[in-house]
Amino acid sequence: MKHFKILALLLLQNICLAQNVYVYSGSNNSLLVGNTFLQILEDKTNSLTADDVLLSKQFKTNSLSVPNLGISGSAFWLKFELKNLSEEGLLLDLAYPNIDEVELHTILPDTHTVEKMGKYIPFGKRNYIYPGYVFKLNISKNSTALILIKIMSGGQIMAPIYIGSKSDVFEKIRSENLFIGIFSGIMLVMFFYNLFIYFTVRDKVYLYYVAYILMVGLVQLCLLGYTFQFLWPNSVWLAQHSVYLLSPLSCIAIIEFIKVFLRTKEFTPKLHKGFYILTSVYICYIILDLFNYGDEAYNIIQLCALILSVYILIVAFKIMRKNYHPAKFLFYAWVVFLIGVFVYALKDVGVLPYNSYTVLTMPVGSVIETILLSFALADKINTYKKEKEESKAAAFELLKENERIITEQNVLLESKVKERTVELEASNKSLVETRAQLVNVEKMASIGQLTAGISHEINNPINFVVSNVKPLKRDMDDILSLLDKYTKITDEKGLTEKLKEINELKEKLDLEYTISEINLLLDGIDEGANRTAEIVKGLKHFSRTDEEILKNCDIHEGIDSTLSILTNNIVSANIKLTKNYGQLPLIECNPGKLNQVFLNVINNAVQAISARKYTRSEGAISITTKVVPNAIEISIKDNGIGIPKSNFTKIFDPFFTTKEVGQGTGLGLSIVYGIINSHNGRIDVISEENIGSEFIIHLPAQTKPVFR
């Protein structure tokens, strides 16, 4: 029943629209169907079936050779009658690849065939390998068919419908493919040419330009349907979204290239910020498309593209007026590209006719723009070369001038050097003498300390001896007076009386006490003399004046002799001395020099403790010796004022001192460092302010140590 209904409707349309039947008579060219042959119905609900459409009276007669249906979410039905007067099989070419869905109904009196194509179907399932939509029409000679075409798309919808024989249609397709091949070849040549230059000169502007060429080329091929055919024929998602993704990506690539190429941040800092806003809009659009809101934002992206085109033109013009030469190339290249875009847009709105020229103006404009910008970049290289040559020439002239100046200066310097050499020799001689004097001063200071210590140490036992001599003399006088009584006894006459006097004198003198006192006094004198001898012996060990050559010596003996010299200083400063001696080998050294090291370090420790002025606890010095691998280690540690970290690198420098003027020359630790260094040893310092210091002396041990 349905078939008869459609057939009756078809006969009715043949009667009513006989004058609008599109007749194909077998010409040698594919013919464009348009003008009054086509009728258009907009299905805003996208719910009408073919039967509903055939019964509808809402069709409107088309007035354009290529219908422009604009940007709409509606479905459109196109209807026309076709009469075939040729014996050839006919093809229908809907030459607009960006249509998402196409549904073709071929209605004959006895048949109704339906064929569907679109981006939701993999490209490989098409009957003809062509970016547009090509359908085979099974209309025999002298037959008339009603053609219904349903179209849906999220973007701009154009409906260029061509009818022709297979040979005619494919001749047209070959012509289009030839142009696209030329376009693609030029873009690829520009892509690889500029990529090669980038790897040669390493200028990032070429990298941005390569990205720009790639994205613009892909957008053009996408608009013409070739990306779906060649790049992702099996991805229906990319087929549906590629235009919405590639268009903003190409705009972002253009923006990044323009910013670097025109140096917008330098020449137009305010307009430079506008590019960030436009980039943000494009990124938002990409996000919307990824969440399937691309159709809703398509008008916004179209408007944004128009704004970007004008914005780039304004920026290029402003920078061009500042005599930046590359801006001129970009301005004219962009004008050529915009002319192509403008013609393409006029074709879309119906002002210009739809044909091969208007369709291909944008790719042609892109090619011309790409070539002009390549010239601009080449000109930039030439500019760099010219600037480099000028820079080399200027540098060469500068070098010649510098050579002349240097020659003159050398002559002058030679005379100045001679004068200065004489002055320095005199100054050096004076410094040597001054240094020798200061070393002598330091030595005299050490001698003064030694003298003070020795005099105090010797004074005690000498005073003890002196104080015992006077009572000893008195006791000896008493003993001598008693002996005198005995010597006066010459005979027995008056012996009793003389003995009586002698006994009385004994009682008076308390002879037993006097004898014991004499013994005590003699013991005291003996002890004082021995103590004095020990001090002299210690002084002899300390000075080692008879041992200037290297010999095996006992380190502990040298430390003890030094401490005997400094006993007065240590006791008077109320310092607790602790000795932790390990079992050391005899080492080959200069004993007198090492004793000078111990004297300076221990004396510095005493002074550091005295400067701290202890109130709750007494000062303390500990001396520790031990054997370490291939060396012996002597640690002298105090709890004095410590050394500031800022002075660590200077404490061994000659003449460096933190003492007040007249209190020291700053040569003590410098002499210590020199002596240790001459023994192939080293001295380390650990110190913290208000905590104390530790001087650790490392001296190389003998290969075969001899322990005492």
pLDDT tens, 142-169?
A: 899 999 999 998 777 888 888 888 888 8
pLDDT greater than 80 at residue 349: no
pLDDT greater than 60 at residue 368: yes
Q: Cα–Cα distance between 426 and 312 in angstroms, integer?
A: 75
Give the percent of the chain with pLDDT over 70: 79
Token output for 151:
């179209």
pLDDT greater than 50 at residue 235: yes
- Find, among 9, 14, 151, the residue nearest to 73 by Cα: 151
Token output for 385:
């070369």
Token output for 264:
């917008």
Q: Match domain 2-172 to its CATH number in 1.10.1760.20, 2.60.40.2380, 3.40.50.720, 1.10.1740.10.
A: 2.60.40.2380
pLDDT greater than 70 at residue 350: no
Lowest mean pLDDT among 388-392, 431-435, 643-647, 696-700: 431-435
pLDDT greater than 60 at residue 408: yes
What CA dihedral angle connects 273, 279, 281 and 287, to 10 degrees?
Answer: -150
Say what the pLDDT of residue 318 is: 92
Mean residue pLDDT of the chain comes to: 79
Token output for 550:
């290297």
pLDDT tens, position by position, 661-679: 445 555 677 788 888 888 8
Say what the pLDDT of residue 613 is: 65
Lowest mean pLDDT among 110-124, 253-267, 435-449: 435-449
Sign for the CA dihedral angle at 391, 394, 399, 405 comes to negative
pLDDT greater than 70 at residue 135: yes
Say what the pLDDT of residue 703 is: 39
What average pLDDT score do residues 604-620 get?
76
- Find, among 521, 513, 506, the residue nearest to 471 by Cα: 521
Q: Cα–Cα distance between 230 and 221 in angstroms, integer?
A: 10
Q: Measure CA 89 to chain center.
A: 70
Position with higher pLDDT, 202 vs 5: 202
Token output for 664:
């020291």
Lowest mean pLDDT among 117-126, 423-432, 442-451: 442-451
Position with higher pLDDT, 35 vs 285: 285
**CATH 3.40.50.2030 fits domain 544-700:** no
Say what the pLDDT of residue 544 is: 47
Q: What is the C-alpha radius of gyration for the chain, rounded to an integer number of angstroms?
A: 58
pLDDT tens, position by position, 684-696: 998 888 888 999 9
Token output for 694:
């530790």
Strand partners, 68: 158
Helix%, strand%, coil% for the chain, nearest 5? 60, 15, 25
Domain ranges of the chain: 2-172, 203-359, 420-537, 544-700
Token pair 């399937």 is found at 292
Q: Cα–Cα distance between 375 and 423 in angstroms, integer?
A: 67
Q: Cα–Cα distance between 316 and 332 in angstroms, integer?
A: 9
Same fold yes or no, 2-172 and 544-700? no
Buried b / exposed e over 382-399, threshold 16 CB at 10 Å, is eeeeeeeeeeeeeeeeee
Lowest mean pLDDT among 126-135, 248-257, 321-330: 321-330
DSSP 235-304: -HHHHHHHHHHHHHHHHHHHHHHHHHHTTHHHH-HHHHHHHHHHHHHHHHHHHHHHTT-TTTTHHHHHHH
Say what the pLDDT of residue 415 is: 78
Say what the pLDDT of residue 661 is: 45
Q: How many DSSP H helices and E strands does the chain contain?
A: 18, 20
Position with higher pLDDT, 536 vs 127: 127
Say what the pLDDT of residue 17 is: 45
Q: Are 239 and 119 in contact (CB under 8 A)?
A: yes
Sign for the CA dihedral angle at 327, 331, 334, 336 comes to negative
pLDDT greater than 90 at residue 5: no
What average pLDDT score do residues 183-200 get?
88
What average pLDDT score do residues 301-311 get?
82
Position with higher pLDDT, 458 vs 648: 648
